[in-house]
Amino acid sequence: MDKKITIAIDGFSSTGKSTVARRLAKELGYVYVDTGAMYRAVTLYMMRKVFVSEGNFDEEAILRHLPFINLKFVFSEEKGYGEIYLNNENVEDEIRYMEVSKHVSRVSAIPKVRKMLVKQQQEMGKEKGIVMDGRDIGTVVFPDAELKIFMTASTEQRAKRRYDELMDRGDDITYEEVLKNVKERDFMDSTREDSPLRKADDAVEFDNSEMNLEEQFEKVLKIVKDKIKEVNS
């Protein structure tokens, strides 16, 4: 039986990380963890408490309330992957709204928020056989992962994908708003002091600007299978 490995997938927003990671986990029989959903769920909690809004960012209140947050993933037969639960409430759909996207980079830049979630993520991956995607998986969460992939695509292409996704869901949004949000998140994620988004030195860079989902998946799957073969040879 093949030894299981840890697969860390990092990259910019709207590069299709989660879609590819979910399919990979299903194909390999691995556990899938969407760390972005965890940061989004914390952000949603703080927005509901009105500690985070368009004109307000109360970091002291955010830190005081971290102990009251319980996150878990519950497998959905319908969707085929674990959905995020915030204090026993399924918030998988709500965390994807544009309002949450506007604030998640600021909340996730807080060192104590990152420390809390990184600890949970490392616990989830102790047994290996995991596909985890996010911004700092290969650099901070699993620096010793057997395979690290860094996904990227042009800003405009990523904004277009995100815009199409939001429109399909019925959101009232313009492409310009989405593009602005993507650029702002890129800047904040790449320049924050704690665990900034960057490509790990030993990561495979994967630019999918010109690929559809099927092409992306097939190419990434080949990279993964080659690595598993190498580890088990």
Residue numbers in the known binding site are 11-19
Return d(Cα 141, Cα 114) in angstroms, integer.
Answer: 10
> Is the CB of residue 204 less than 8 Å from the CB of residue 20?
no
Other Cβ atoms closer than 10 A to 166: 19
Q: Are 143 and 201 in contact (CB under 8 A)?
A: no
Distance of alpha carbon 156 from alpha carbon 144, whole angstroms: 33
User: Exposure of 29 by Cβ count < 10 A (0-12 exposed, 13-18 middle, 19+ buried)?
Assistant: exposed
Edge to edge, the sheet with strand 31-34 lists 31-34, 130-134, 6-11, 147-152, 204-207
List, as residue ranges, the binding site for ATP: 11-19
CB-based contacts of 29: which residues, under 8 Å, 6+ apart?
A: 129
